[in-house]
Amino acid sequence: MRHNLPHAQPGQVIGLFGGSFDPPHAGHVHVSREALKRFGLDRVWWLVSPGNPLKSRGPAPLARRVAAARALVQHPRIEVTDLEARLGTRYTGATIEALIAAYPGVRFVWLMGADNLAQFHKWQRWDWIMRTVPVGVLARPGQRISARTSIAAQRFRDWKIPASAAHGLGRRQAPAWCFLNVPMLNISSSDIRARGDWDGA
C-alpha cells in the first residue's frame, strides 16, 4: 500500500489539500503556507485529483497539472501528489479512509476553502469526513457568509473551535473544525482559464 506514496512518520500532522489545480497558481501556495503556520501542520500534501465528481467538464491531463504544480511549489513542507490516482480513489471520503489505513499513527487534517464548506453537504460521505478527521476552513473573498450558514457549518456548530485555538487543530479528536479568515490573493483557476493563460494540453 505504501509503495510510491509520500513519506510520513507516526505522530506527524499532515494537511490534505485536494483539488483539480487546473491550473495551480500562487493562491494555492499562499493558502498552503497559511495552513502550515496557522493550523500547526508538519506538512501539506496537495492531492491533485484525477477529476472532480461535481464538475461535468474534465480538467487538463493529470500529469500536466502535477508537473505544473511541482514547478510552482518551492516549499520544503508542501508536497504535490497524485495520491488519488495511485490509491484508485475518486471521492474524498475514500481517499481519507485509504490514507488512514496506509499511515497508522499519522494525523490528517482536511483543508478546504470556504467555498467548499458552502457546498460540502453535496459531497459523498461528507458527514463521515467531518467525524473522522479535523477540518480546517480558510476563508476566501465573497464566500464567508454562505459558508458560515451552510448545512455542514450548522450541523457541526457544536464542534467548531475558535480561531485562537487553530494551532492545535490537528491534535484534536474529530469532529473538530476551525474557520480562519486569512488574507487571500484575488486569483482563481477559472479566471486563469477564462483569460486563456492555461492551455492544459
For residue 190, pLDDT over 90 is answered with: no
Backbone angles phi and psi of 80, in degrees to 5 = -90, 125
30 or 58: which leads in pLDDT: 30
Statement: residue 49 has pLDDT above 60? yes
DSSP element (H, E) containing 161 = strand 160-161
Domain boundaries defined on the chain: 13-195
Q: How far is CA 95 from CA 42, 84, 181, in A?
A: 20, 6, 27
Residue 156 identity (one-letter amino acid): F
Gap between the Cα atoms of 96 and 200, Å rounded: 27
User: If 0-12 CB within 10 Å is exposed, 13-18 middle and 19+ buried, where does residue 170 land?
Assistant: buried
The position carrying cell 472532480 is 52
In this predicted structure, the answer to whether residue 145 has a pLDDT above a threshold of 80 is no
Instruction: Report pLDDT digits (tens) over 67-110.
Output: 999 999 989 999 999 999 999 998 999 999 999 999 999 999 99
* Amino acid 54: pLDDT: 62
What pTM was computed for the model?
Answer: 0.87
User: CA 123, CA 142: separation in Å to the nearest integer?
Assistant: 21
Q: What is the pLDDT of residue 159?
A: 97
Which CATH number is associated with domain 13-195? 3.40.50.620
Q: In the prediction, which pLDDT does 198 show? A: 46
Q: Name the pLDDT band for 24 (thresholds 50, 70, 90).
A: confident
